[in-house]
Amino acid sequence: MALAHAIMTALLDADLSGSELSRDFETSLGFFWQASHQQIYQELHKLADKGWLNRREVQQSGKPNRIVYGLTQAGREALADWVFGKTRMQSAKDELLLKLYNLNAQNAQHLANEITQRREDMMQRLYLYEKVRRTHYAEPAALPTRHKGVYLALAAGISHGEQFLAWCDEALALLSTVEPA
């Protein structure tokens, strides 16, 4: 998936400024698609140059004017074409998994500590996911169509998180059997 499609998806419901898009990435799309502020702003300019986004200046008193971006009809058509395109599974790149290939008596405790930290991080993320689910998606069948898709992405995140916690527990149990050096 290209960053362009993530940005256009974020603009489906409302026109947003670059800073608002960055904030949305941190609290929603960013759970499964990472982008820096700089990457977002660069992509906004490219999409506007392609005619897929319009940009307008919004006057603000006491502050610099904001540039707000919105999807054009051509952008909506490009996004719809992308949705109908083939999706490919992304390969995972995780240094921790590579480090586990180097497990030995000297580093077992260090790797267990890394897994423990990852487990804690995932618990925090799952808490947030669950809070979002309860607040906005408590009755999935009653949601508007597009929001059902957002719910399904959230449910996938919850499921993956729960599976990751189970893996962490298994890994920590196995690592506890490694005799220290």
Quick check: is 131 in a domain?
Answer: yes
- Give me the number of domains the chain comprises: 2
Long-range contacts of 35-38 (CB under 8 A, 24+ apart): 35/3, 35/6
Last residue of a domain, one of 62, 84, 106: 84
Residue 89 forms part of a structural domain: no
Tell me, yes or no, whether 75 and 15 share the same domain.
yes
Residue 26 has pLDDT above 70, yes or no: yes
Model confidence at 22, in pLDDT bands (50, 70, 90)?
A: confident
Identify the three-state secondary structure at position 108.
helix
Q: What is the pLDDT of residues 41-54, one digit of tens each?
A: 999 999 999 999 99
pLDDT at 61: 87
Does pLDDT of 35 surpass 90?
no
What Cα–Cα distance (Å) separates residue 43 from each residue in 4, 40, 161?
A: 6, 5, 30
Assigned token pair, 40: 């977002």
pTM of this structure: 0.78
pLDDT digits 0-9 by tens, 55-101: 999 888 888 888 999 999 999 999 999 998 888 877 778 899 999 99
Q: Is the pLDDT of residue 4 over 80?
A: yes
| Cβ–Cβ under 8 Å, residues 37 and 18 | yes
Residue 116: pLDDT above 60? yes
* pLDDT band per the 50, 70, 90 thresholds, residue 142: very high
Using the 3D structure, point to which of 63, 84, 105 is the last residue of a domain. 84
Instruction: For residue 176, give both structure tokens.
Output: 């506890």
Q: Is the pLDDT assigned to residue 160 strictly greater than 90?
A: yes
pLDDT more than 70, % of the chain: 98
| pLDDT attached to residue 25 | 75
Range of the domain at 116: 95-175
- Sign of the Cα torsion 112, 118, 121, 126 reads negative
pLDDT value at residue 170: 98
* CATH number of the domain bearing residue 61: 1.10.10.10
Please indicate, yes or no, if residue 181 is contained in any of the structural domains: no
- Half-sphere exposure for 165 (CA within 13 Å, toward CB): 13
In a domain, 90, yes or no: no
Q: Would you state the pLDDT for residue 1? A: 52
Query: Quick one: average pLDDT of 22-37?
Result: 77
Distance CA 170, CA 4 (A): 38
β-pairing, 66-71 with 53-58? antiparallel
